[in-house]
């Protein structure tokens, strides 16, 4: 295989028309695909962790299966569930063949992607929601790509190794043994140039002056140290939608920040910024009003 062939087969993911990926994120995705290791994605809420899996699937032309983790999720639910209740009901009412245990074994998301003929992207979303044992409990299955259905003794072996993407909001530390098996990437908060590209995906052809005003206000808000919850990419996208629908002009936006509720989700934060505006506090209208970080 020539060097160009190797490079192009490595660089399988380059973002999509609907998802802007930074170079380090693309590298992490491509590294995980090449090593056939799960990709563990962390980052602030709303920075595109969950959406990434959809777009990796789109870009690789693979179907996707999602497993959204809750505090009550157990690792075995991802493999299969033995529907004893259905079996009991069938036994009681004479429906179905209760002797055939296999018909009461319902595969979970991992079970389905293992059994599928074609290669899937498997999203394990918000793994840190579950208890501490959860990540360790799915290690073996993800490593070996096989598991046994205890009730029947059947062994399910993955026909194709799925591309596994795991997200975490950092609510809990993940065990070292789990981390060792993953490729890790933290999505840094997008800088203004990357953010312009992300905004363009959702609000194409936005007036450049308006976009500049929007981003000045947005990054200024994020710089306010006393904020309890900084607005993130998803709030920015919503806020721009509200601004566009309201027909606000760039000049109006220079003076104040309307529709704060689309950006800030904590009452102390909204009260704080509103009272700052009411007191006639200075609103930034140019990048030079922000710190050195924004003026290089």
Ligand X SMILES: Nc1ncnc2c1ncn2[C@@H]1O[C@H](COP(=O)(O)OP(=O)(O)OP(=O)(O)O)[C@@H](O)[C@H]1O
Catalog residues that contact Mg ion under the rule CB under 5 A: 49-50
Pairing of strands 163-168, 121-125: parallel
- 201's CB contacts (< 8 A; 6+ apart) are 17, 18, 19, 20
CB-nearer residue toward Mg ion: 56 or 260: 56
Strand order in the sheet with 39-43: 64-68, 121-125, 163-168, 39-43, 183-187
Residue 195 to residues 118, 125, 211, Cα–Cα distance (Å) = 35, 24, 10
Rounded to the nearest whole angstrom, what is the least distance from the CB of residue 98 to ligand X in the complex?
A: 41
16 forms part of the interface with ligand X (CB under 6 A): no
Query: Is residue 45 near ligand X by the rule CB under 6 A?
Result: yes
Residue 290, both tokens: 């922000």
Smaller CB separation from Mg ion, 159 or 229: 229
277 lies in the binding site for ligand X (CB under 6 A): no
# chain residues binding ligand X, by CB under 6 A: 18
Task: Collapse the DSSP code of 62 into the 3-class scheme (helix H, G, I; strand E, B; otherwise coil) and give the result.
Answer: coil
Q: Which is nearer to Mg ion, 49 or 55 (CB)?
A: 49
Give me the residue whose beta carbon is nearest to ligand X: 48
Task: From 45-53, 131-139, 142-150, 215-223, give the range in contact with ligand X by CB under 6 A.
Answer: 45-53
Give the pairing of strands 39-43 and 183-187: parallel
For residues 234, 240, 242 and 245, what is the CA-based torsion angle, rounded to 10 degrees?
-140
Residue 135: name its binding partner from ligand X, Mg ion, none (Cβ under 5 to 8 Å by kind): none
Instruction: Work out whether 76 is an interface residue with ligand X (CB under 6 A).
Output: no
Q: In the bound complex, what is the minimum distance in angstroms from residue 168's beta carbon to ligand X?
A: 9
Distances (CA, A) of 258 to 64, 242, 248, 283: 38, 9, 9, 12
From ligand X, Mg ion, none, interface partner of 20 (C-beta below 5 to 8 A by class): ligand X
Task: Give the tokens for residue 219.
Answer: 């990054």
Residues in 24-43 at the binding interface with ligand X, rule: CB under 6 A:
43
Catalog residues that contact ligand X under the rule CB under 6 A: 19-20, 43, 45-51, 167, 169, 198, 201-202, 233-234, 237
């Amino acid at each position: 295989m020539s060097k160009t062939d190797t490079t192009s087969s490595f660089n399988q993911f380059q973002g999509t028309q609907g998802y802007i990926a930074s170079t380090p994120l693309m590298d992490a995705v491509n590294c995980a695909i090449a090593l056939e290791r799960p990709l563990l994605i962390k980052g602030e809420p709303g920075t595109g962790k969950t959406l990434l899996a959809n777009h990796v699937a789109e870009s690789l032309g693979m179907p996707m299966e999602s497993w959204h983790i809750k505090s009550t999720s157990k690792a075995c639910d991802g493999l299969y569930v033995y529907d004893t209740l259905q079996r009991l009901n069938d036994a009681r009412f004479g429906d179905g063949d209760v002797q055939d245990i296999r018909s009461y074994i319902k595969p979970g998301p991992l079970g389905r992607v293992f059994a599928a003929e074609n290669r899937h992207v498997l999203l394990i979303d918000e793994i840190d929601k579950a208890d501490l044992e959860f990540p360790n409990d799915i290690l073996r299955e993800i490593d070996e790509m096989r598991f046994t259905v205890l009730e029947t003794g059947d062994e399910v072996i993955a026909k194709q190794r799925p591309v596994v993407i795991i997200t975490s909001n950092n609510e809990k530390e993940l065990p070292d043994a789990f981390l060792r098996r993953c490729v890790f990437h933290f999505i840094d908060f997008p800088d203004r140039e990357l953010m312009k590209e992300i905004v363009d995906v959702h609000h194409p052809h936005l007036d450049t002056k308006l976009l500049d005003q929007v981003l000045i206000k947005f990054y200024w808000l994020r710089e306010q140290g006393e904020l309890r919850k900084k607005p993130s990419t998803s709030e920015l996208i919503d806020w721009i939608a509200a601004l566009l629908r309201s027909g606000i002009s760039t000049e109006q936006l220079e003076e104040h920040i309307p529709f704060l509720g689309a950006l800030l989700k904590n009452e102390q934060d909204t009260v704080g910024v509103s009272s700052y505006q009411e007191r006639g506090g200075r609103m930034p209208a140019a990048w030079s009003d922000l710190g050195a970080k924004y003026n290089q």
